[in-house]
Amino acid sequence: MILKPLPEDFKIIGHYLGKVLLGLSFTLAVPIIIGIACREINPTFDFLITLEIGLILGLLLKKACYTEKDLSWMQGMLVVSLSWLMAMFFSAIPLYLSGHWKSYLDACFDTMSGFATTGLTLVQDLDHMSYAHNFWRHFIMFLGGQGIVIIALSFFVKGFSGAFKMYVGEARDERILPNVIHTSRFIWLVSFVYLVLGTLSLGIAGILNGMRVWNAFFHGACNFMAAFDTGGFSPQSQNILYYHSMPYEIITIVIMILGAINFKLHYHIWMGNRKEIIRNIETVALFIAIMLTFYITAMGLVRLNTYPSAVMLLRKGFYQLISAHTGTGFMTIYPNQFIFEWSPLAMAGLILAMGLGGAVCSTTGAIKMLRIGIIYKALKEDLKRIMLPEKAIVIEKFHHIKEIFLEDKQVRSALSITICYIGLYIFGALAGKFFGYPFLPALFESTSAAANVGLSCGITSPGMPAALKVIYIFQMWAGRLEFMSVFTILGFAVALIKGRR
Amino acid sequence: MIKRIFIPILVFNAAMLWAGVSFAQPLVSSTQLIDRAGGYDGQVVTYAGEVIGDVMKRGDFAWVNINDGINAVGAWMSISLARHIGYSGSYKNIGDAVEVTGVFRRACPEHGGDLDIHAQSMRKVAPGRFAEPKINVDKRDQVFILLGVLGVVWILTMFARK
């Protein structure tokens, strides 16, 4: 029997949403400081207005729904999924006020794209954007990559149980350290260490490329956040092509791969267990998948002689492929070049790479390598069962930090999430087809949105149908939260209608 | 803000129109270059737009990214040409409107497959300028009004019973 939600459920959810909104409001201090430092007065006003709105609504919500009760699983999941929607609407305010987005919907599209670390964008005249707004675009990817609810609530939540429910709700089902707070702190430590190193590397590369010092480090910080959080925004409209630099491309490739690796693996590498890199099922699967998808992409490019030399093939073909596979979305070509210069086979290679994704407990989206590895092991086990004598005991193991015996529940979970992702990719492709786009580009764009990648073949633009923008927003949201929180919302809606007291 | 974006575009388009009428040089747009790259590959083209971002010096040459209002395309030019650029487009600057003539490459073998133009000549159509936006009084007022509301809400919530 389904139980109808009680007023107390709404109160708890409202109370935590208020806390999340207050936490998010505090993060606006960073662009405000940048705006003041760069003497950008109107952009600073945009962020101050948003900060004040956030504090007013957050305080009201927190007080009106005051409770000391802890979250249940259902409430935790609902808080996460609603928080992401609330964060989208809230963080879009300064972007919309900047005048660089055609409509509030377009600004919402970009904030969801940022939080979900996708990288698809509807911005206009990016090359004249203020430093404060440009930084905010990248900063929301940094927040989204770590998990906005966990970040926002780290200001307020004292108990561990509520935090863990929301940690899981944000598609982070692996604890690196014994409790969530320590795990979150470790993720922050890793991110900050890499932020310093990545910004320095990209900043120095920028200076050597001929950029002004401030611009080189500003771009370095923004591009680091976009690469490590596998987001894909960049401060200029040409994305990474703007820099015309092979060293810059190599550094971003390294950061993208670091971002696509499980934080748990980072922890073990930091602790000196370097052998884990070659033993872990995820890194092995990622390596094989990159090789296979690059082979397909390269075949497609060679067939049309799109890039006649090996250097070109690597700088264009391999770069887009790594960007796709890690879910980043950095581009060194123009979106329309996919349509006019890349063969369908090359695009299919990228679609496959986008659909597979990186590691679990990283900032990438998509199906992810652990699930692909588990499904492969399950198939192998089934094949063995068929081939070996009936009495033979077949046991399959995989190495993920430790040796793990393959169990049915792991296979079921991996398969169900995989099916959900494939369904989401196809749903968006059919929607694109419905709005008059050819199937392959529609599938490309849909996979890019649902897998939180951000590569575009030109469909994503301010002029695209509003309904398609909403569908892509839904795909980015559902893809980032890995469906569980989305299903909880549906379940809650059903309980509201059909539930009994 | 809308004015800040569209007035420079209008001025720039007027300058481009004037340049087109005065010198009758066939200009290509970034959309043409990207969508029909194969057709223009290896040809001498004339492309016009606003200089944006940094002028990135590399030895005796420099990368200059030029935005025609739709896309930005990279132009590889000698330092002697790049030296004439006074302003590049950013939040506080409207960049020089320039017209470059040079060899277009769909996938430049010298630059790892970049779609670019190797400029042979460059003409400044309209100089850029410092264009910091004026203070938006409406936004300033909203900040103060909301600050007042926030103060009231904060005081109320402080005294409200849990």
pLDDT digits (tens, 9 = 90+) for A190-227: 888 999 999 999 999 999 999 999 999 999 999 999 99
Cβ distance B37 to A100 less than 8 Å, yes or no, reads: no
Tell me which chain B residues have a C-beta less than 8 angstroms from the C-beta of A211. 54, 56
Tell me which chain A residues have a C-beta less than 8 angstroms from the C-beta of B52. 127-128, 236-237
Q: What is the pLDDT of residues B66-113, one digit of tens each?
A: 999 999 999 999 999 999 999 999 999 999 999 999 999 999 999 999
Residues 6+ away with beta carbon under 8 Å from A409? none
Chain-centroid distance of CA A97 in Å reads 25
pLDDT of res. A155: 60
- Going by C-alpha positions, the residue among B60, B63, B56, B12 that lies closest to residue A125 is B12
Torsion-angle region of residue B53: left (phi > 0), alpha (psi -120 to 50) or beta?
left
Are B53 and A240 within 8 A, CB to CB? no
User: How far apart are alpha carbons A239 and B33 in whole angstroms?
Assistant: 18
Q: Which CATH superfamily is domain B2-130 in?
A: Nucleic acid-binding proteins (2.40.50.140)
> 3-class SS at A40?
coil
Residues 6+ away with beta carbon under 8 Å from A113? A119, A120, A121, A233, A454, A476
User: Does residue A158 have a pLDDT over 70?
Assistant: no
For chains A and B, CB pairs below 8 A equal 148
The mean pLDDT of B41-64, rounded to a whole number, is 96
pLDDT bin (cut points 50, 70, 90) of residue A339 is very high
Closest CB from A55, A131, A312 relative to B91? A131
User: Does residue B34 have a pLDDT over 90?
Assistant: yes
Domain ranges for chain B: 2-130
Domain ranges for chain A: 1-173+468-501
Are A143 and A151 within 8 A, CB to CB? yes
ipTM of model: 0.87
Helix axes A73-98, A484-498, angle to 10 degrees: 110
Are A367 and A374 within 8 A, CB to CB? no
Tell me which chain B residues have a C-beta less than 8 angstroms from the C-beta of A236. 52-53, 65, 72
User: Does residue A148 have a pLDDT over 90?
Assistant: no
Chain-centroid distance of CA B24 in Å reads 24
Tell me which chain A residues have a C-beta less than 8 angstroms from the C-beta of B53. 127, 215, 236, 242
Closest CB from A42, A52, A244 relative to B146? A52
How confident is the prediction for chain A on average, in pLDDT? Answer: 90
The residue of chain B with its CA nearest to that of A461 is: B70
Tell me which chain B residues have a C-beta less than 8 angstroms from the C-beta of A209. 56, 58, 63
